[in-house]
Amino acid sequence: MAACYVEAIQSVQSEGPYLLGGWSMGGEIAFEMAQQLHAHGESVALLALLDARIPSTAENLADEDFEAMLMADVVRYFGLSSDFSESLKLLPQDELLARVLDHGKRAGLIPADIEAAQAHRLIELCKSDFRASRNYILHRYPGRVTLFKASENLSESLVDPTLGWSDWAEGGVDVQMVPGNHATMVYKPNVGILAEKLAACIEQVGRIELANESMRDSQ
């Protein structure tokens, strides 16, 4: 996926510096894109990860177990209690999906016209993404990471303020807090603050690149 996206970007912009970013699993993909670009001698001026966690290896789950886990995670993103999420795992799959769709629509996080058949296709895509993430092997990145972290933590086990990226970014991690949780940080009104912080980072990168270009010209 990363190689495909790099090829697409370079068809428009043949050389760096590049600005990369991704939300959730998209952050992992952006991270690997930056690795590939660096390996080819290209400059990555900004690598923005939007509440992306480092991929972790876990045992293989049966499809039905994975689907129940996925649905419970999604419901937590809707702001419902963990007890409610756990109770969903006891439901038959069709009823589980119907309940999740209902809560997602009422929370404004799922379009009102999405039907169960469409949701099933999305679940299959999520399964593929999950397996790709679990199979990804991390390597230390030579540059710096900018992490936009959701202020509402949905997992009590995540205590590292860098979400684990400090172990993999040689240039360090700049943590920018954004209101909301993993899902709601990209919805109104929280997304407005995210946009402001991201724009500020892009502007700062632009100033640095302009200064570097001026120095090269003077030499």
Task: Residue 211: give its domain's CATH number.
Answer: 3.40.50.1820
Domain endpoint, select from 75, 106, 133: 133
**Relative orientation angle of helices 63-77 and 93-106, to the nearest 10 degrees:** 20
Taking the CA atoms of residue 98, residue 102, residue 103 and residue 106 in that order, the dihedral angle to the nearest 10 degrees is: 170
For the chain, the average pLDDT equals 85
Q: Does 122 share its domain with 142?
A: no
Cβ neighbours, 10 Å, residue 44:
21
CA distances for 184 relative to 20, 23, 77, 148, 192, angstroms: 21, 12, 7, 13, 11
Domain endpoint, select from 92, 113, 133: 133
Q: Does 143 share its domain with 175?
A: yes
Question: Can you give 149-168 as a three-state secondary structure string?
Answer: EECCCCCCCCCCCCCCHHHC
Q: What phi and psi values does residue 21 have, to the nearest 5 degrees?
A: -160, 155
Domain endpoint, select from 101, 133, 165: 133
Q: What is the pLDDT of residues 124-146, one digit of tens each?
A: 887 788 788 888 999 999 999 99
Domain count, the chain: 2
Q: Model pTM?
A: 0.83
Q: What is the pLDDT of residues 4-24, one digit of tens each?
A: 999 999 999 999 999 999 998
Q: Does 44 share its domain with 83?
A: no
Check the CA dihedral 96-101-104-105 and report its sign: negative
Q: Does 141 share its domain with 200?
A: yes
Residue 80 domain boundaries: 63-133
pLDDT at 149 (0 to 100): 96
